[in-house]
Amino acid sequence: MKKLEHKVDVFTGIRPTHGLTIANVIGSVHTIVTLQKEKEVGRPMVFVADLHALTDHTPKDTQKYVLDVVKDYIALGLDPKECDIFVQSQLIEEIAELNIYLSRLVTISELLRVPTLKEKIKKDMDVSNASVLLAMYPIMMASDILLQQSKYVPVGDDQVAHVEIARDLARKFNKVFGETIPVPNVLSLGKPVRIKSLVGGGKMSKTNPSGAILIDDDINISLGKVKRAQTAFAGEMSESLDSLIKIGKFVSDEEEIKHIDDIMIKHMNGENVMGELKGVINVA
């Protein structure tokens, strides 16, 4: 068996459904910027996944935000000299062709067992109104990864299943068509950082801007969102408060992080200090 060479060191992407949120920065962009700086696993390639966004957004909506996402990536530290950036639809013909070949190698029942797909259908819709494109999402993701002959795909624990599908399809493709595609590797980022909406009701999402801190928000708008953020009763924790703390620590220096920890000790001891916490975060 010949040794197949990977062409891309690190490969990842983000959907252009709105401007980036602080959750995207903490959970994705920061990781890529760190990999870019450390250079331990090679040069990153980042793509704007406008085709993936079509599972639940119109082409008009997704195209509107493509350029904004690229600008945000660069503003947040991605260096075009150190990191390759492209838009997924630039390779629509190549992705579509590989998608067809890969689709022959996976069954419908296998797709329906993908954990993230089952969760999406259970939470947002039922099978009767779920689009075929949603079910095909893992195959399209595999097409992206394998087309670039990627060596590492950085993902949190909740996305490992998608990369495993890509790995399995690479092996099947090579068995059927000959040794052609190198098998990608999971670059585990561990348990994903969950950032919930500041106003409750699920994760922080670009599609619900009132509960999300957007990167292009005016400073006064961001301050207002922090002030209005849901927290918890004295002595209690909540998902919203936990997310607010994660955001606060991400944007803070060591001294401010210690201040946040001290405030949370007071809070868990029953003191009413949420106003103080929000003040520290807004100053950071």
Q: Domain 8-188's class?
A: alpha beta
Distances (CA, A) of 246 to 155, 186, 188: 19, 25, 20
User: Is the alpha carbon torsion for 35, 37, 41, 42 positive or negative?
Assistant: positive
**Residue 16 to residue 54: CA distance in whole angstroms:** 10
pLDDT value at position 227? Answer: 93
Q: List, in sequence order, every residue forming a beta bridge with 8; answer none if it has no partner.
A: 150
pLDDT in tens, the chain (284 residues): 567 888 889 998 888 876 788 988 887 788 888 888 877 788 889 999 999 888 878 888 888 888 888 888 888 888 999 889 999 999 999 999 999 999 999 988 888 888 777 776 666 556 666 778 888 889 999 999 999 999 999 887 777 888 999 999 999 999 999 999 999 998 877 676 788 899 887 888 877 888 999 888 899 999 999 999 999 999 999 988 999 999 999 999 999 999 999 999 999 999 999 999 999 998 86
Write the single-letter amino acid at 204. M
Residue 232 has φ and ψ, to the nearest 5°, of -165, 160
* 102 residue type, one letter: L
Cα gap 106→169, rounded to integer Å? 8
Apex 113 CA angle, 103 and 119, nearest 5: 115
Task: Give the separation between CA 241 and CA 12, rounded to whole angstroms.
Answer: 29
> What predicted TM-score, i.e. pTM, was given to this entire model?
0.79
Residues of the chain with CATH 3.40.50.620: 8-188
Quote the pLDDT of residue 127.
Answer: 63
